[in-house]
Amino acid sequence: MPTPGTTLSALRTAVGVSGYVAPNLAGKAFGLDPAANPQAAYLGRLFAIRDLALATWVNGTDGDAKKLGWQVGIVCDAADFVAAPPPNEDGLVAI
């Protein structure tokens, strides 16, 4: 059974790859409306590359460097949570 760390790292990698390769499709999965907001693809790629960098950091290091990678990832996730507006009546996130 995979550890929570392995699962989180795999999710970061999946979100990163899908968000970079298919930002409109990934955006829809996160409640964005790319047709109404064409800039969402660009923003999606920014988040995607960040998730890929965090996953690579955690997977490619050990010891204190790995611990710091986890801590930076948690700070990024917490900041995303605080900054996220609530979804509108259609379930979409207005950005």
Determine the pLDDT at residue 71. Answer: 95
User: Residue 7: pLDDT above 80?
Assistant: yes
In tens, the pLDDT along 33-72 reads 888 888 889 988 998 999 999 999 999 999 999 999 999 9
Higher pLDDT, 1 or 79: 79
**Residue 56: per-residue pLDDT:** 94
CB 93 within 8 A of CB 87: yes
Confidence of residue 2 (pLDDT cuts 50, 70, 90): confident
